[in-house]
Structure 1
């Protein structure tokens, strides 16, 4: 399954300030481009922390768009999504998956959420290679990852990222800001994930850089 990682950051690779403020680092044209990318994928994935903090819609919202909506996928090991959040409330209108490491919660199933169970690794995180296989079995073959720094790092560590769509705003947040990619445990440059830049575009004041895995 092709996996695309989306990053929307400051020049120094931060996705939020130390206090968590992140809306909006990038401009309107970058956000519209992200919606176009969502429309090209079968599913959009975030981690539980992003879902709980932002209550995102994860839908395609473009003027005149009438195509299918991608499924929404949340890595939520302990099924913490509350009943009143937008993802759960709209699960019968837009396919919504929770990937858990525990038995499916009846309240989520009753709301129309599809709960997939995956084995736990590390700090009770779903095994991502199993997650990708399970999503493919559901007919979801193009995955767009929009999670926070830990989710991005997890996919990169597993060697699952085939392409990166990086939107960079001309601001500098500093080292106390939250990084776009968490720890990778890279001991040498040869061990780091390598990508080839395929395109650079200007979107207003932002840059859109596109990469593919080497």
Structure 2
């Protein structure tokens, strides 16, 4: 299942509007005979890819899949539950039950009725984290939104002049490009666009084709090749985006935080002190320190060369 989760992770930023599922098929003699991940644009599904690779070797095998196989009809392809029933594996191991009401347990019930053993909840948390973008869109009607900030020790994003290249070093910038490769879309504000004319592409060898779509938060004129959002709430109209990465400056970060739309913050902190300069955020709607506590939890931290990455997730009620 860990291999299936890793395959699903590789499909992040490419599978929308479908979930980024991973699937591994293991034969009775414990050999891997099929691997698959959701393809670009959402089809074919991971199970279909793995079953095609396995062929007749899927009969009597164990199928590991990060999300319950879909069981609803679609004009884009057959339901994965039907494909599995046809392939006749002995067992299907599932990381996460599908919360989509069109499937929501139907796939599991149909497999069990056909005599196929089903095990649910293996690596559930890992599967949930891998599918976080799609799950957020299903639950909240918008993409999972990650806010990226490069800061000095004293929390500044730029000098008073606006100069900000480069606060962090090469290792941190490479990590940012990996985050871009896992995103369906990157957004900046008008100020960042006018000052830097950013490309917002992925510039890592072998991953150049993973450059996401670009979006601009502005009430001004639209820009060719960029999706225009007039307000942060327009993210609710992004039906083909599971993961949105916000890379804008202080005004854009403040706008999204003020609307409580940020699910994840990535802070790349450099060992420098700027002193007087541009702060990372403005007013985000809090009037008391007590209201700020308990809203964010640290979920990861690591060194990236001389810099340090801190990842925080928004604490929300289930």
- Which interval holds the TM-score relative to the shorter structure? 0.7 to 0.9
Cα distance in 2 for partners of 1:147, 1:97 equals 14
SS of residue in 1 equivalent to 2:255: helix
Cα distance in 2 for partners of 1:99, 1:79 equals 11
1:156 aligns with 2:265: no
Unaligned runs of 5+ in 1: 82-87, 101-125
Whether the 8 Å CA contact 2:155–2:280 is kept in 1: the answer is yes
Match of 2:312 in 1: 211
Whether the 8 Å CA contact 1:48–1:80 is kept in 2: the answer is no
Deviation, 1:66, is: 4.6
TM-score by length of structure 1 reads 0.76
Deviation, 1:133, is: 1.0
Match of 1:171 in 2: 272
Match of 2:229 in 1: 99
Match of 2:213 in 1: 71
Match of 1:21 in 2: 163
SS of residue in 2 equivalent to 1:12: coil
Deviation, 1:182, is: 1.8
Whether the 8 Å CA contact 2:201–2:208 is kept in 1: the answer is no
1:202 aligns with 2:202: no
SS of residue in 2 equivalent to 1:133: helix
Match of 2:283 in 1: 183
SS of residue in 2 equivalent to 1:191: helix
**CA 1:159–1:167 in structure 2 vs 1: closer, same or farther (change >3 Å)?**
same
Whether the 8 Å CA contact 2:222–2:228 is kept in 1: the answer is no
Cα distance in 2 for partners of 1:56, 1:39 equals 16
Cα distance in 1 for partners of 2:208, 2:164 equals 29
Whether the 8 Å CA contact 2:229–2:235 is kept in 1: the answer is no
1:143 aligns with 2:238: no
Cα distance in 2 for partners of 1:40, 1:16 equals 26
Match of 1:134 in 2: 237
Deviation, 1:185, is: 3.7
TM-score by length of structure 2 reads 0.52
Match of 2:91 in 1: none
Q: CA RMSD in A?
A: 1.5
**CA 1:80–1:182 in structure 2 vs 1: closer, same or farther (change >3 Å)?**
farther
* Larger Rg, first or second structure (1 or 2): 2
Deviations 1:55-106 (A, max 9, x none): 100011101215432110011211175xxxxxx4xx3xxxx21224xxxxxx
**CA 1:195–1:70 in structure 2 vs 1: closer, same or farther (change >3 Å)?**
same
1:43 aligns with 2:185: yes
Match of 1:12 in 2: 154
Cα distance in 1 for partners of 2:254, 2:291 equals 14
Aligned length: 172
Match of 2:56 in 1: none
Deviation, 1:191, is: 2.6
Cα distance in 2 for partners of 1:66, 1:30 equals 18
Q: Which moved more, 1:185-194 or 1:25-34?
A: 185-194
